[in-house]
Amino acid sequence: MDIGDLTDEILRDLRGERPYPAVSLLVPTTRRSPYSPEDPVRLRNTVAEAKRRLAEDAGVSRSVRSDVEGQLDAAVAGVDLTHTSDGLLILAAPGEHHVWYLPRSVPQRVVVGKTFLTRNLVAAARMEEPYWALAVTKGECRLWDGAGDLLTEFTGNGFPVHPALPDHVDALPGKNYGTPIREEGQAERERQYLRTVAGALAGVLEKHPRPLYLVGLRELTAHFKEAFPDQGAITAVVENGSGAAKSGHELLEVLRPAFEERREARRGEVMRRLSDARGARRYTSGLDEVWQTVRQGRVALLAVEDHYQATVRTDGNGGHPQLVEESAEPLSADGSLIEDAVDEIVESALDSGADVEFVPDDSLAEEHRLAAVLRY
């Protein structure tokens, strides 16, 4: 499934506890078509590692192992390597399997536990937030429904919108067509046209509020903003005069700089909130401190580096996590072992209603890779 198919309900279900073992496979893939020859090799090796882990796990019976291995095989059979983007997530447990294509890079790893690894889904969903793109020209306004790199034209609620037919004199080529005498009438028709667009858009945003990207020439977008009652809903204005004539792929390329600006702004806002919280003494950082506070429901904002992960042992009562070096100690069905403690922290934060944001690696180096704004 594509990340655009992820809903709160699906994520909530995937985060639920499973009968042991719940196996999660992360496979880096190449964003190209036809697929890279390295992709099937990585996939095959990762599946082989998962099956080896299951075979060596004394906590997995032969019948359960056979079930999960069958689920892995079924998942792999359904993978379309010509469809991949930057990463692949395969989830398998007794009686079920799921395949997700991720629009962000992932490490190659296998995680076995009582829950699926979902932090990569959360991070991808944050990156691929749904949005609207309105392409405005004098001859047509088209609305696009977007999520990451997927852009589909929206054709409901009156869209696409075209200007009303001018009066019969202006509609006909000739000496009266577009003359200065009729400029005021033309200006009023343009204002009415943009008011119609604004009304249609307001109805869509009321039902589906999202970031809005406005594409058009500066003068026309300025006039549209005058007609649109909720200017605060406009995330960015992109100056381009041919947006309404572009395909979804072409429009996506026009929008990319605005997407990156929004991501940078979000990262800056996260760092600002962390800084403010530090000054107000509502701040904590590091695995141990964040582990404790997130379980107490005190975290308002959790910031995590993209690829930070830690395997830990606990005392079984939610006590202080102790880091485990994977190379020094075999992973097993030991109940005190948590193979990805960061995933557990992310899930606990979501359960308590906290904001979760992922930032580039090394952004939180001084904070030991993760930090939090506390509610109290």
Owner of token pair 């509610």? 375
Structure tokens at 78: 């359904």
Q: Which of 21-25, 142-146, 161-165, 198-202 has the lowest mean pLDDT?
A: 161-165
Class for the domain spanning 1-128: alpha beta
Residue 287: closest CA among 336, 344, 331, 333 = 344
Determine the pLDDT at residue 222: 94
pLDDT digits (tens, 9 = 90+) for 44-84: 999 999 999 999 999 999 999 999 999 999 999 999 888 76
pLDDT digits (tens, 9 = 90+) for 252-293: 999 999 999 999 999 999 999 999 999 999 999 999 999 999
- CATH code of the region 282-376: 3.30.1330.30
Distance of alpha carbon 336 from alpha carbon 323, whole angstroms: 12
pLDDT digits (tens, 9 = 90+) for 166-215: 555 555 555 555 555 456 667 788 889 999 999 999 999 999 999 999 99
- 332 vs 361 pLDDT, higher one: 361
Phi, psi angle pair for 59, to nearest 5°: -85, 0
Assign 96 a pLDDT band (cuts: 50, 70, 90). very high
Owner of token pair 């107000």? 280
Domain extents in the chain:
1-128, 130-262, 282-376
Looking at every residue in the chain, the average pLDDT score rounds to: 89
322-323, strands of its sheet edge to edge: 322-323, 312-313, 337-338
Is the confidence at residue 119, as pLDDT, over 80? yes
| C-alpha separations of 91 from 87, 222, 261, 298 in Å | 13, 48, 33, 30
Structure tokens at 167: 């009066």
In sequence order, what are the beta bridge partners of 301? 355, 373
At residue 284, the 3 state secondary structure works out as: strand
Count of beta carbons in the 10 Å neighbourhood of residue 225: 14
Q: Contact, 4 vs 148, CB < 8 A?
A: yes
Structure tokens at 168: 């019969």
Is the confidence at residue 316, as pLDDT, over 70? no
Distance of alpha carbon 108 from alpha carbon 2, whole angstroms: 19
282-376 shares the fold of 130-262: no
Average pLDDT over residues 222-242: 93
pTM metric for this prediction: 0.80
Is the confidence at residue 332, as pLDDT, over 80? no
The overall longest dimension of the chain from CA atoms, in Å, is 90
Phi, psi angle pair for 319, to nearest 5°: -75, -165
Q: For domain 130-262, which architecture applies?
A: 2-Layer Sandwich (3.30)
Q: Is 163 left (phi over 0), alpha (psi -120 to 50) or beta?
A: beta
